A = this chain, B = another copy of it.
């Protein structure tokens, strides 16, 4: 098999057109280099040089081979340099799971930051609900998850990424918006509402239940949905009010107004970043370090 030493020898001689100088450049003596070239020519079955009184000249075959030879050496160098970057987390592929709602808030910033800081790390983004992300983390389908708490399970670690207030979603024309008095939890009592499903959207379901319990109110749940944007559609359709994370602002949903509610500040919606701890993954670990905020992000705007 062709060896890179042979190829490097060939390139040196082709550039110097002088075995002696080429050998010096390679820190060796002439004879072995001379033999190396001969062996290379024998292996290829092709004469690469014409031997003249005044050194060597490349044959047509030699000229053709020179380009490929240089390419081989560069590729070998580059490949070595590249692979050495992997354990530093500077190179690799990281699959990231995210929930639909995080896409409105954190995902854009994260991708921007990651690609700026680690231009040679490829991000593969896959939308999935929080429960599916936990499974995907375990079986290795994703390396990193952006999901709603709680994150439980052996070998999983997570950090809080985003903390955002919940807002009331009302039809834009609703009188509560104009009569001046600020909305409170008490205003939700017996009000027709769009609620989140206990299964499929456990996180928001439990969060809202806790909030209403604390406010001692009992809304009139008319529909149960799993997605924030579905809830907003139903509000626009007049089914009732809803409560959504402030990230929903970025959806710019016409016909629905999002307004703060006194008493809901104690129940912020949270997003966590989660990953497996059982074995290191350089690129993922570098991303985790780079993306962990010193304190949870507040929604922008």
A266 an interface residue at 8 Å Cβ cutoff?
no
**How many residues belonging to A are interface residues under a CB distance threshold of 8 Å?**
40
Cβ–Cβ contact A72 & B68, under 8 A: no
A180 an interface residue at 8 Å Cβ cutoff?
no
How far in angstroms is the closest Cβ of chain B from A10?
10
Give the complex CA separation of A71 and B46 in angstroms. Answer: 23
Give the complex CA separation of A281 and B86 in angstroms. Answer: 47
Q: A87 contacts which chain B residues (CB < 8 A)?
A: 46-47, 60-61
Cβ–Cβ contact A76 & B2, under 8 A: yes
A65 an interface residue at 8 Å Cβ cutoff?
yes
Identity of the chain B residue whose Cβ is nearest the Cβ of A8 in the assembled complex: B1
A84 an interface residue at 8 Å Cβ cutoff?
yes
Cβ–Cβ contact A69 & B79, under 8 A: yes
Give the complex CA separation of A289 and B46 in angstroms. Answer: 21
- Say yes or no: A64-B91 contact (C-beta < 8 A), given A2-B4, A72-B72: yes
A44 an interface residue at 8 Å Cβ cutoff?
yes
Q: What string of 1s and 0s marks CB contacts (under 8 Å) between A44-84 and chain B?
A: 11111010000000011101110011011001101110111
Complex A-B: 17 CB contacts under 8 Å: A1-B8, A2-B4, A2-B76, A43-B80, A44-B80, A45-B84, A48-B83, A50-B279, A59-B86, A60-B281, A60-B282, A60-B283, A65-B79, A65-B86, A68-B78, A68-B83, A71-B75
